[in-house]
Amino acid sequence: MTPSTSDTMTDLLIRANRLKTTPRTGWAQRGVPAPESVADHCHGVALITLALLDLVDEPDLDRATALTMAITHDLPESVTGDLSLGASRLLPKGAKATAESAAMSELLGETRVAASWRSTWDTFESQETPEARLVRDADRLDLLVQALAYERASGTLELEEFWSFAPEESFAFPASRALAGILRSRRPARG
């Protein structure tokens, strides 16, 4: 007996729901109490993507594709968990990408959306389209927004390594670079 379309989609949604309780490991490792979840991060990336779609001077950007990328870019982490930058750099080259690709295949399985979501996710990973580069910018901007929020809330946390991961020149679009510069300028003064 073949599972119904509704059954396979329900299974995907239940498994993806794990992102709501999967903490962003890098923040926890740096002493952030109650760090954001991967789902919190994906929401931030989607919101920033939506904002960038209106700020970036590139009329041919496909809004639906960009927003799908933003929502699904970390979907494999519902299987793999969140690997911090520190942990990822210690893995053999390509190991994280291979694991996330296998996780994406496992998650999507035989769902009706498997081919389209997988294609969109693969495009994001390859960074070959303007939409993929815009969402990568949004991903990094969300990191900076969150770092700023944590630094402001604690008064003592210094999260320089996160700021160093996303220097202004690493952003693909001028609007993204401008936002990154404004975020950097709003960091709390350090003694």
Residue 186 to residue 8: CA distance in whole angstroms: 45
Give residue 13's domain range: 5-185
The CATH number covering residue 125 comes to 1.10.3210.10
pLDDT of residue 157: 82
| Buried-state track 96-126, b at ≥16 Cβ within 10 A, e below 16 | beeebbebbeebbeebeebeebbebbebbbe
Residue 76 to residue 32: CA distance in whole angstroms: 24
pLDDT of residue 1: 41
**Number of other residues whose CB lies within 10 A of the CB of residue 90:** 9
Does residue 63 lie within any of the structural domains?
yes
Residue 15 to residue 96: CA distance in whole angstroms: 20
At residue 23, φ and ψ (nearest 5 deg) are -70, 150
Question: Going residue by residue through the chain (191 aa), what tens digit of pLDDT does each one get?
Answer: 456 788 999 999 999 999 999 999 999 999 998 999 999 999 999 999 999 999 998 889 999 999 999 999 999 999 999 988 778 888 999 999 999 999 999 999 989 999 999 999 999 999 999 999 999 999 999 999 999 999 999 888 889 999 999 999 999 999 999 999 999 999 988 75
Residue 73 to residue 142: CA distance in whole angstroms: 13
Overall number of domains in the chain: 1
Does residue 191 lie within any of the structural domains?
no
Query: pTM for the complete prediction?
Result: 0.94
pLDDT of residue 96: 92
Q: What is the dihedral of CA 13, 97, 27, 178, to 10 degrees?
A: -100
Does residue 162 lie within any of the structural domains?
yes
Does residue 123 lie within any of the structural domains?
yes
Does residue 55 lie within any of the structural domains?
yes
pLDDT of residue 86: 77
Residue 189 to residue 129: CA distance in whole angstroms: 38
Query: How many residues are present in the chain?
Result: 191
Does residue 190 lie within any of the structural domains?
no
At residue 177, φ and ψ (nearest 5 deg) are -60, -40
Show the DSSP H helices in 56-166 as ranges: 63-72, 77-80, 85-88, 95-108, 114-126, 130-154, 160-165
